[in-house]
A and B are shown apart, each in its own frame.
Chain A
Amino acid sequence: QQQVKQSPQSLIVQKGGISIINCAYENTAFDYFPWYQQFPGKGPALLIAIRPDVSEKKEGRFTISFNKSAKQFSLHIMDSQPGDSATYFCAASKETSGSRLTFGEGTQLTVNP
């Protein structure tokens, strides 16, 4: 059972555009939703995270929008840059599980110059 579904699988955006990646989850016990960025040959790195008591969180060019009733959350990258080209993973965890993360399948983002 895939608990976190991510789309699209790949995304191509022009420099300066907005990149949007979506995730949906099934387990209503999840209470922490991070996004990770991964470059080839490296481990994932935490980008931004949100808890379900807020609907939006913004850090620089990165924004998470969270819809608790729909069990969906999304990552928006404003003013996308070629350096943002990477694979992005959404994830979810619940406090009582010791923060074991369930990851989505990933989105390969390419930002063309």
Chain B
Amino acid sequence: GAGVSQTPSNKVTEKGKYVELRCDPISGHTALYWYRQSLGQGPEFLIYFQGTGAADDSGLPNDRFFAVRPEGSVSTLKIQRTERGDSAVYLCASSLGPSLARANYGYTFGSGTRLTVV
């Protein structure tokens, strides 16, 4: 597709439930990022994939959060035992490669999944 697609756009779940958030990056983009944006805040880094592997997962807040990208394209962010504090917009972004500065291109973000834990 022309842009980064994230599904669902909205997700309401009960505390303690498991959720999966999906990201379809731009075709050919090898780098994929997940960020979390709380209301009134800037996006916070969660995890970065280069190809199929997680090159940097240091932003994941705890072991309830996990992400995969098995074929180097679509990625899924998984949250176990959701808590009310997990409520936020989860943004996915992709880029042609990891070197934004060298090529002077930026990420392309999707519109995000708004997760509400009640």
Using a CB–CB cutoff of 8 Å, the interface residues on chain A facing chain B are 4, 6, 31-32, 34, 36, 41-46, 49, 51, 89, 91, 93, 95, 97-106
Contact = CB atoms under 8 A, between A and B. Distances in A.
B100 A32 contact: yes
Given A43-B110, A44-B43, 15 more contacts: A32-B100, A34-B106, A36-B106, A43-B93, A44-B91, A44-B109, A93-B101, A95-B99, A95-B101, A98-B98, A100-B56, A100-B59, A101-B35, A101-B43, A106-B41
Interface stretch (B44-52, B67-75, B78-86): B44-52
9 contacts: A4-B42, A6-B42, A43-B109, A46-B107, A89-B42, A98-B98, A101-B43, A104-B42, A106-B42
Contacts of A6: 42
B7 interface: no
Contacts, number: 73
Interface of B: 4, 31, 33, 35, 40-45, 48, 50, 55-56, 59, 91, 93, 95, 98-102, 104-112
A99 B111 contact: no
